[in-house]
């Protein structure tokens, strides 16, 4: 090597060292949340090396940390192009898709990242989070366990594992882990919030509220604590709190999701203050915001319900003979907010009955996959299976195996309270002749108002945010249930919420008798049942039966004219 080549090589090494030093220092600034200096150094690296994978990726992470998801997305795309095997950037890109609710794209990115490096814990952890968000409990726990096995001391993996435990009904273990995390990392917001949520699900409301109040007063601008804080009737907002969140509703850079949460929080807060006019205004505004994200195709749903009636009118000859099973399913169904959680709480207070909560197992096992707005391919898949007794037996087998992961040894029955299982009552009657089917109903306007005034997870019940669409969807459900009740008559126990409220013991006794069990007085004290509850009725079922929800819609009558008119038409 001659002198000129040595000099050139030395300059290249110095240049490379300077780039590496800038990148390392940029990451240090970034770690300390000095975003401006970090950005300067990342961009200096990119001016020298426009395709520097690590600089592109970390600049994307920086924008993501600042909630600038559009810029973050652009840099992660550039990073993936710079290195097509960059499993880290693919994982980062997946988190952006997850934030944007582009679930198929998120899953594709995570899976591709894992194909390249199957031991990359951040991707495995994000897959656990993805399935947690989709409420696929077993898959969430599978990946959370895998991440924890690879890095047992990783606090993020421990946190994700605790969240997976919660949706797998292992609440005590989850709380123990989250309490340890909070002691180790007292400043971590995510750990605190998850512990607070876990306390609420097990009925430890004082412990949950203690965390919420402390954290909200420390920094009232944290939205997730704002929602929890306003839900407690004993808490009072200051003018500064109200003005701050009210102002966010008019800002363009605040996400639609956040605006919906703010409106829902204000609705609950002003409802507790009995300022029903103010509460109603926020309710309408929040639901308009939520429904604007995605229209609900009512015409397709009408065809779907009609096809379900046709399918189960045609398939009655394929009944499966009754089989003895150690634990018999009890299907509690009906529209959401119709009293299904209360029904399960009463039943699971009996020594022979366990409650498993809302399970999607029947839809998954049947090939329908989801009960609301399934695609035509899945409906045809269900039709095909119904023509083959072997397929029917396989659906039964798969469902019972999944159900068997719940419940205690002494239990004779396990409740599955997925409300929308009402759509598949025809299938239930064909393949589970030993099962008990309970249909929960309440006054139509009460039920629709309860739906309209509740914010569901993600876009799971999008029909409920538009008054006319909600009322028409409710009528579709009534038509289908009339069809099933005519077909199966006394094979379906109809639990009328108003009758239960007005005559608790008599109706509760009839409910237990329908299940073929002897009466136990504990079923009247259902509110003392410490089982996990993961629905919107989490607080109501911890209290004795009352009549507060009957006719509650009348306080908001001026805001609900479209819904009431459609229900009564």
Q: What is the pLDDT of residues 85-97, one digit of tens each?
A: 999 999 999 999 9
pLDDT tops 70 at residue 543: no
Query: Does domain 17-118 correspond to CATH entry 1.25.40.10?
Result: yes
Among left, alpha and beta (phi > 0; psi -120 to 50; other), residue 357 is left
Q: How many other C-beta atoms lie within 10 A of the C-beta of residue 566? A: 17
The pLDDT tens digits for 11-54 are 444 446 677 888 999 999 999 999 999 999 999 999 989 999 99
The pLDDT tens digits for 158-173 are 999 999 998 888 888 9
pLDDT tops 50 at residue 10: no
**Residue 289, pLDDT score:** 93
Q: Which helix (H) or strand (E) holds 415?
A: strand 413-416
pLDDT tops 80 at residue 317: no
Mean pLDDT of 522-547: 64
pTM of the predicted structure, to 2 decimals: 0.83
**Residue 448, pLDDT score:** 97
**Residue 321, pLDDT score:** 57
Rounded-to-integer distance, Cα 279 and Cα 452, Å? 13
Phi/psi for 140 (5° steps) reads -60, -45
Rounded-to-integer distance, Cα 521 and Cα 38, Å? 65
Q: List the 413-416 sheet strands across, edge first.
A: 353-355, 413-416, 328-333, 436-441, 492-496
Mean pLDDT of 210-222: 91
Mean pLDDT of 446-473: 92
Rounded-to-integer distance, Cα 204 and Cα 168, Å? 19
**Residue 13, pLDDT score:** 46
Q: Is the dihedral of CA 416, 418, 423, 424 positive or negative?
A: negative
Rounded-to-integer distance, Cα 127 and Cα 131, Å? 6
Rounded-to-integer distance, Cα 432 and Cα 424, Å? 12
**Residue 50, pLDDT score:** 93
Q: How many other C-beta atoms lie within 10 A of the C-beta of residue 309? A: 16
Query: Which long-range contacts (C-beta less than 8 Å, at least 24 apart) are formed by 293-301?
Result: 293/256, 293/459, 293/462, 294/459, 294/462, 295/462, 296/373, 296/462, 296/463, 296/466, 296/469, 296/473, 297/373, 298/463, 298/469, 298/472, 298/473, 300/373, 301/372, 301/373, 301/463, 301/473, 301/476
First-to-last alpha carbon distance for the chain, in angstroms, is 92
Alpha helices in 117-251 (DSSP H): 121-133, 137-150, 155-167, 171-184, 189-201, 205-218, 223-231, 239-248
**Residue 12, pLDDT score:** 46
Can you tell me which residue has the tokens 């929308």? Answer: 420
For residue 460, the SS3 value is: coil
C-alpha distances (whole Å) from 367 to each of 193, 355, 364 are 35, 24, 5
**Assigned fold of 327-568:** Rossmann fold (3.40.50)
**Residue 18, pLDDT score:** 72
pLDDT tops 80 at residue 536: no
Q: What angle do CA 239, 243, 245 make, to 5 degrees?
A: 120
Poorest-confidence range of 207-211, 285-289, 316-320, 481-485?
Answer: 316-320
Rounded-to-integer distance, Cα 512 and Cα 357, Å? 18
Mean pLDDT of 357-382: 91
**Residue 8, pLDDT score:** 47
pLDDT tops 60 at residue 141: yes
DSSP 486: H
Q: How many other C-beta atoms lie within 10 A of the C-beta of residue 222? A: 15
**Residue 535, pLDDT score:** 53
Q: Which helix (H) or strand (E) holds 114?
A: helix 103-116
CA dihedral 447→452→453→456, nearest 10 degrees, is: 100
pLDDT tops 80 at residue 262: yes
**Residue 561, pLDDT score:** 96
Q: What is the mean pLDDT of the chain?
A: 89
- Residue 256, Cα to own-chain centre: how many angstroms? 18
* Burial state string for 540-551 with b = 16 or more CB within 10 A and e = fewer than 16: bbbeebeeebee
DSSP 406: S
Q: 195 falls in which pLDDT band (50, 70, 90)?
A: very high
The pLDDT tens digits for 390-448 are 999 999 999 999 898 886 667 889 999 999 999 999 999 999 999 999 999 999 999 99
**Residue 373, pLDDT score:** 92
Mean pLDDT of 133-148: 92
CA dihedral 397→403→405→409, nearest 10 degrees, is: -100
pLDDT tops 60 at residue 534: no
* Burial state string for 361-375 with b = 16 or more CB within 10 A and e = fewer than 16: bbbbbbbbeebbebe
Among left, alpha and beta (phi > 0; psi -120 to 50; other), residue 373 is left
The pLDDT tens digits for 45-76 are 999 899 999 999 999 999 999 989 999 999 99
Rounded-to-integer distance, Cα 552 and Cα 527, Å? 22
Poorest-confidence range of 92-96, 302-306, 356-360?
Answer: 356-360
Q: Where are the domains of the chain?
A: 17-118, 327-568
Mean pLDDT of 328-350: 94
Rounded-to-integer distance, Cα 512 and Cα 353, Å? 10
More confident residue, 270 or 369: 270
Q: 482 falls in which pLDDT band (50, 70, 90)?
A: very high
pLDDT tops 70 at residue 324: no
Q: Are 381 and 368 in contact (CB under 8 A)?
A: yes
For residue 494, the SS3 value is: strand
**Residue 309, pLDDT score:** 94
Poorest-confidence range of 275-284, 325-334, 346-355, 519-528?
Answer: 519-528
pLDDT tops 50 at residue 250: yes
Q: Are 127 and 99 in contact (CB under 8 A)?
A: no
Q: Are 257 and 234 in contact (CB under 8 A)?
A: no
**Residue 325, pLDDT score:** 59
Rounded-to-integer distance, Cα 216 and Cα 237, Å? 10
DSSP 252: T
**Residue 528, pLDDT score:** 67
Q: Are 526 and 345 in contact (CB under 8 A)?
A: yes
Q: Are 562 and 472 in contact (CB under 8 A)?
A: no
């Amino acid at each position: 090597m001659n002198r000129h080549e040595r000099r050139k090589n030395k300059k290249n090494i110095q240049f490379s060292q300077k780039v590496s030093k800038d990148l390392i220092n940029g990451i240090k600034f970034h770690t300390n949340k000095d975003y401006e200096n970090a950005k300067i150094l990342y961009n200096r690296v990119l001016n020298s090396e426009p395709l520097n994978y690590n600089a592109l990726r970390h600049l994307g992470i920086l924008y993501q940390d600042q909630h600038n998801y559009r810029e973050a997305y652009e840099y992660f795309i550039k990073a993936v192009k710079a290195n097509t095997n960059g499993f880290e950037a693919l994982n980062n890109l997946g988190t952006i898709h997850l934030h944007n609710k582009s679930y198929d794209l998120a899953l594709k990115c995570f899976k591709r990242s894992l194909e390249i490096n199957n031991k990359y814990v951040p991707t495995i952890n994000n897959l656990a989070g993805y399935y947690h968000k989709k409420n696929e409990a077993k898959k969430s726990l599978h990946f959370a366990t895998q991440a924890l096995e690879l890095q047992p001391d990783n606090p993020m993996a421990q946190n994700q594992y605790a969240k997976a435990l919660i949706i797998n009904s292992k609440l005590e273990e989850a709380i123990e882990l989250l309490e340890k995390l909070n002691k180790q990392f007292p400043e971590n917001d995510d750990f605190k919030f998850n512990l607070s949520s876990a306390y609420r699900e097990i009925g430890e409301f004082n412990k949950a509220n203690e965390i919420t109040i402390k954290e909200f007063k420390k920094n009232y601008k944290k939205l997730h604590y704002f929602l929890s804080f306003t839900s407690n009737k004993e808490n009072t907002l200051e003018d500064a709190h109200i003005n701050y969140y009210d102002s966010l509703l008019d800002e363009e850079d605040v996400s639609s999701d956040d605006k919906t949460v703010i409106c829902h929080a204000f609705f609950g807060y002003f409802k507790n203050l009995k300022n029903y006019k103010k509460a109603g205004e926020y309710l309408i505004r929040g639901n308009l915001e939520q429904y604007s994200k995605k229209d609900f195709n009512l015409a397709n749903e009408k065809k779907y319900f009609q096809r379900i009636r046709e399918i189960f009118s045609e398939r009655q000859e394929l009944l499966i003979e009754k089989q003895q099973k150690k634990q018999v399913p009890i299907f509690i169904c009906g529209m959401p907010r119709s009293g299904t959680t209360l029904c399960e709480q009463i039943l699971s207070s009996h020594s022979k009955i366990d409650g498993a909560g809302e399970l999607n197992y029947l839809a998954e096992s049947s090939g329908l996959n989801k009960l609301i707005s399934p695609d035509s391919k899945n409906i045809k898949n269900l039709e095909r299976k119904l023509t083959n007794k072997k397929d029917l037996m396989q659906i039964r087998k798969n469902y019972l195996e999944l159900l068997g992961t719940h419940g205690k040894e002494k239990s004779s029955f396990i409740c599955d309270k997925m409300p929308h299982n009402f759509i598949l009552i025809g299938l239930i009657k064909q393949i589970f002749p030993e099962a008990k089917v309970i249909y929960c109903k309440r006054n139509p306007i009460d039920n629709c108002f309860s739906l309209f005034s509740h914010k569901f997870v993600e876009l799971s019940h999008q029909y409920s945010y538009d008054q006319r669409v909600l009322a028409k969807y409710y009528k579709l459900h009534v038509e289908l249930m009339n069809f099933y009740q005519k077909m199966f008559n006394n094979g379906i126990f109809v639990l009328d919420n108003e009758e239960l409220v007005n005559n608790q013991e008599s109706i509760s006794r009839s409910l237990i008798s329908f299940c073929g069990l002897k009466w136990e007085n504990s079923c009247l004290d259902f509110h003392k049942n410490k089982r996990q509850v993961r629905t919107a009725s989490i607080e109501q079922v911890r209290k004795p039966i009352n009549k507060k929800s009957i006719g509650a819609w009348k306080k908001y009558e001026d805001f609900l004219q479209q819904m009431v008119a459609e229900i009564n038409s």
